[in-house]
Amino acid sequence: MTWNTTGLDELPVYEKLMKLARNPFDLTAPGALSPERISNYKASAAGFDLLYSTQRLDDSVVNGLQQLADQSGAVDQFLAMKRGAVMNRIEGHASENRQVLHTACRDIFSDTPYNSEATQQARQQLEKLKVFLEQLDSGEIANERGEAFTEYVNIGIGGSDLGPRALYLALSAYAQKNRRVHFISNVDPDDGAAVLQNLDLARTLVGVVSKSGSTLETLTNEEVARAAFAAAGLNPRDHFVAVTGQGSPMDDPQKYLRSFYMFDSIGGRYSATSMVGAVMLGFGLGYDAFIEILRGANEMDRAAEKRDIRNNPALLLAVLGIWNHNFLGHQTVAVLPYSQGLLRFPAHLQQCDMESNGKSVNRKGEKVLHKTGPIVWGEPGTNGQHAFYQLLHQGTTVVPAEFIGFRHGQYTMDLEIEGTTSQQKLIANLLAQSLALASGRKDENPNRLFAGNRPSSILLADKLEPHTMGGLLALYEAKIVLQGFIWNINSFDQEGVQLGKVLAGRFLEHMRIVHQGGARDTDKHPQSWAMLEAAGILPED
């Protein structure tokens, strides 16, 4: 490796940035937000403009953040990742030891892809999907009455649900006529029941998504769905599609109409542009729309290779986040899309960011001595303005914000009311919130005083459509992994979810013992037995 693998706090520029952070740029000072500053603090790529004049920094900080990116070798590591370096590893310790090649799924447009093997795998699966969708469109694949399938239920959890669901909801304005997509993720039986009871199962396909073919929640929900189909007199095999690892227990033509493959080099939270998202999005939006998502993502993947942070929105967003988190001490970041279509995009980013960078050891297994990933949360504006923005403006906790907006709406249903359209009102609110957080307002009434100096960025594109959504997804994926490289952590495993799974299995075993009339061995695992009893889950002896 040619890049620096030391911690953030060991990089030469670290002390310089710490000194600058003691007296950050005052956004409330007279003339601070000058037209020149607003114009100059802007980075553009792949159809997006990132406005960052409302961040607490000046040219000296921007230069320091450029040095931070350079000294950490963030872009070199990003390129190595794309070529197939084993980035998912902890040196000297048992780990997944895998390549990280989600970008290969959208490198299909290049004659010389970064990793030809992974890209060829992606092309093969896309060709399988194209044929499958054509067969659905032509009626070659239909239900037993010869009717077309009009509904699709995606059963998955985590990365098999959040990213694909966020993309589908964002692009539902472009949905195929007479086709709808639904989602079941929670093992809560009410989640599945609420979806299945309202569907014509005879005209429904079910996509079951699990790389290992053994995800407890997903397999449980699959069996619930299969029982519903059987009760309706339908053969589940003729309605169920598998998205899984090749050779997994779900790779079974006796149980599934079709199987599409996901590969070990693509982590779940980075899998929306693999078959994990492709099958559902291809059904709901059409094959061509999914290809446009890939084109947009690929364009942003290429832009994320630029070394100048002023020309690389993903890298700039990454180092701005580190400035706010590690140097200014802010613990959370709010992602605030001013687009109702992006309703579930913050939820996807919660997983993608917090599962990736919620780590406390570096890539050598040593405890990190600096903060890593922040808490990520958010809701769409303007709804959020009438909910939690009070805290953003006047609370005791400073929350950096990342606003996302579009100059034009997806639909043509917009009216001019009191001289402006609804879309114009939406954008005006976005810009106003960023300015208000930064500049604040003085008032003799302390209840009406706005302190200001609350940092934010604005990410703008023309319209939320498939190409743009692909770019937005890839921008945040790149931001997250670039931050991980700078922090020198492994952004690609998720050991933190394993302990809870083990303990849940123990609780379930206790429940089985009691249900089957066995003896309670409370001397073994006494805490879990006690918790079940205290919660009123077990019947009294």
Whole-angstrom distance, CA of residue 255 vs CA of residue 540: 41
Give CA angle at 349 (344, 355), nearest 5°: 130
| pTM for the full predicted model | 0.96
Residues 6 or more apart in contact with residue 274 via CB below 8 angstroms = 102, 105, 122, 125, 262, 263, 266
Catalytic site includes residue 348:
no
Catalytic site includes residue 501:
yes
CATH code of the domain occupying 8-95+307-493: 3.40.50.10490
Low-confidence ranges of the chain (pLDDT < 70): 1-4, 540-541
Query: 355, 402, 465, 477: which one is catalytic?
Result: 355
Fold of 102-294: Rossmann fold (3.40.50)
Q: Looking at residue 361, what DSSP letter applies?
A: B
User: How much is the pLDDT for 3?
Assistant: 65
Report the C-alpha dihedral over residues 278, 280, 281, 284, rounded to 10 degrees.
Answer: 150
Contact in structure between 340 and 380 (CB atoms under 8 Å): yes
Catalytic site includes residue 42:
no
pLDDT, one tens digit per residue, over 363-406 is: 999 999 999 999 999 999 999 999 999 999 999 999 999 999 99
Q: Which amino acid is at 401?
A: A
User: How much is the pLDDT for 2?
Assistant: 52
Domain spans in the chain, listed from the N-terminal domain onward: 8-95+307-493, 102-294, 500-534
Q: Which of 332, 438, 345, 339 lies closest to 382, judged by CA?
A: 339
Question: What share of the chain in percent tops pLDDT 90?
Answer: 93
* Owner of token pair 């669901």: 165
Question: Which tokens is 338 given?
Answer: 């001013």
User: Is the preceding omega at residue 468 within 30 degrees of 0, hence cis?
Assistant: no
Q: Using CB atoms within 10 Å of the CB of residue 98, give its burial: 0 to 12 exposed, 13 to 18 middle, 19+ buried.
A: middle
Q: In what order do the strands lie in the sheet with 258-262?
A: 180-184, 151-155, 204-210, 240-245, 258-262
Query: 177, 367, 386, 444: which one is catalytic?
Result: 386
Query: 408, 501, 515, 524: which one is catalytic?
Result: 501
DSSP track, 205-228: EEEEEESSS--HHHHHHHHHHHHH
Dihedrals phi, psi of 200, to nearest 5 degrees:
-85, 95
Dihedral angle sign, alpha carbons of residues 112, 113, 118, 124:
negative
Q: Looking at residue 450, what DSSP letter applies?
A: B
